[in-house]
Amino acid sequence: IVSVYGGPHVQRVNNSWSQNADMRAQRLRSLGFCVVKCDNRGGSRRGRLFELEVKGDMGNKEVEDQVDCVDHVTRVLKVGDAKRVGIVGWSYGGYMAAMCLSKEPNVFHAAVSGAPVTTWRAYDTHYTERYMGLPAENKEGYERSSVMNHSHNIKGSLMLVHGMVDENVHFGHTTRLINKLVEDMIPYELLLFPTERHSPRGTKGRAYMEERIGDFFMKNVKKREVGGGKGIFGGFLGG
C-alpha cells in the first residue's frame, strides 16, 4: 500500500525518528500489508528546482515518481507484489490517489481517495495559483491536472471518503468526480461523514473510517472476504 501525500512544499520521509506514530500505516501493516511512503518531485527540502518541477502541471510528475517508487520496491527490492498495489491519501494525497488510479491503471489496483481535490479550478486561489498560475493563462495545465479528465481510464477499485461540511476541500470536489464516474459507468464506493469537516475528528468516526479502509484493501488488494466481526477497533469502540 502506497501511503501518499505528494503535495508541494511538504516532506514526509525523513532520516530521523519521530515521537508520533502513523496509526493508519501501523494498522495496515497489522493486516499484512507493506506500507510505502515516497516524496515525489515538488516536495520540500530538496531545493527550489525540485519544487518547481510541478509548477503549472500538478498531478503528473508526482504520479510518475510514485510509479517509480512502486517499481523500485517490487522489482529492485523484491518486496510486495506488483500485481496487488493499493494507494491511500488524504487532501492532496486523496487527489494523488485518484490520479494514480486514473493515470496508471496497470500499476495501481485499488485506491482510497480521502477529501480529494478533483479540479484545481475549484480549490482556493491563494494555494492553487501559487503553483498553477491563473486559469486563464494556463488552461491546458488546469485541464491536464483535473482528475475528471483521466478517470475514464480507471480499471481498479476506488473508495471516495469525504466529510460533507469540509471547509477546506469542499464536498463538491467529490460530487464532480462521482458525476464523471457515473457518466463513464465506472463503479466506486463512497464513505461519507455528514457532520465532519476535512477529516473525522471523533474517536468513533476515526475508528470507523480506518475499519472501512482496512476492509476495502483486504477485499480489493488481498482479495479476502471481510466483515462479520468488530475488527481490531471493536474493544476500542466499547463493543
Q: Could you give the CA distance from residue 115 to residue 90 in angstroms, rounded to a whole number?
A: 6
Confidence of residue 39 (pLDDT cuts 50, 70, 90): confident
Count of structural domains, the chain: 1
**Looking at residues 201-229, what average pLDDT do you find?**
85
In this structure, of 28-42, 137-151, 177-191, the range with the lowest mean pLDDT score is 28-42
**157 part of a folded domain:** yes
47: domain range? 2-220
Question: Whole-model pTM?
Answer: 0.88
**127 part of a folded domain:** yes
**239 part of a folded domain:** no
Give the CATH number, domain containing residue 109. Answer: 3.40.50.1820
Q: Could you give the CA distance from residue 106 to residue 101 in angstroms, rounded to a whole number?
A: 8
**237 part of a folded domain:** no
Alpha-carbon torsion 41, 42, 44, 50, what sign?
A: positive
pLDDT in tens, 154-203: 999 999 999 999 999 999 999 999 999 999 999 999 999 999 999 888 88
Scanning the structure block, which residue is given the C-alpha cell 522489482? 75
Identity of the residue numbered 201? R
Scanning the structure block, which residue is given the C-alpha cell 482479495? 223
Residue 233 makes CB contacts below 8 A (sequence gap 6+) with: 207, 208, 210, 211
pLDDT in tens, 59-110: 999 999 999 999 999 999 999 899 999 999 999 999 999 999 999 999 999 9
Residue 227 makes CB contacts below 8 A (sequence gap 6+) with: 215
Which residues does the annotation mark as catalytic?
91, 166, 198
**83 part of a folded domain:** yes
